[in-house]
Amino acid sequence: MFKDTVKELLDQALNQREDLFLIDFEILSDNTIKVVLDGDNGVLVEDCIFVSRAIEHNLDREEQDFSLEVSSCGAASPLQKPRQYNKHVGRDLEIKTVEGDKLEGQLADVNEDGIIIKWKIREPKPVGKGKVTVTKEVNIAFENIKEAKVKIKF
């Protein structure tokens, strides 16, 4: 089947480049192949060309008419795979949890189960008048993250 052949070629290309990983793959009804990649060190145009060629050069256009789009996930795209979080440690994230909570904070750490977010908040002093800045920290399991986006600062 066409989809299986394309997926096998895609997997072979990604096995040669362990720094790249698949975010999305689909073949539309008009035989448009769409591949979305991310990488541990980001994705360069050359990386997209490498994957595109690995697929395109091994398919026969006489046998199957198709178009191919290989792209990287955008800077504003939500993080979808646990592996994507590693390169964003130290950056600010906007997170929506499965329970409906919204959090914003710095991605402090990533482990196999989830992430640790830190943020500063002003709270009343325990004794006396005034406020003090405290750092809050929360662990969020990957399965409890509905959506996470990197906050882009200009």
77-93 burial, b at 16+ Cβ within 10 Å, e below that, comes to ebbeeeebbebbeeebb
Per residue in 53-83, pLDDT (tens digit) is: 999 999 988 888 999 999 998 878 899 999 9
Mean pLDDT of 129-146: 93
The dihedral formed by the CA atoms of 47, 71, 154 and 89, expressed in degrees to the nearest 10: -60
Q: Helix, strand, coil % (nearest 5) of the chain? A: 25, 45, 30
Per residue in 17-27, pLDDT (tens digit) is: 999 999 999 99
- Domain positions in the chain are 2-72, 82-150
| Cα of 63 vs its chain's centroid, Å | 34
Q: In what order do the strands lie in the sheet with 102-110?
A: 131-141, 114-124, 102-110, 92-97, 145-150
Mean pLDDT of 37-57: 94
Structure-token pair, residue 80: 């979808």
Question: What pLDDT, on the 0 to 100 scale, is given for residue 60?
Answer: 87
Query: To which CATH superfamily is domain 2-72 assigned?
Result: K homology (KH) domain (3.30.300.20)
* Helix, strand or coil, per DSSP, at residue 66: coil
> Could you say which architecture CATH assigns to the domain 82-150?
Roll (2.30)
From the number of C-beta atoms within 10 Å of its C-beta (0-12, 13-18, 19+), residue 154 rates as exposed
What is the CB neighbour count within 10 angstroms for residue 4? 8
pTM of the predicted structure, to 2 decimals: 0.80
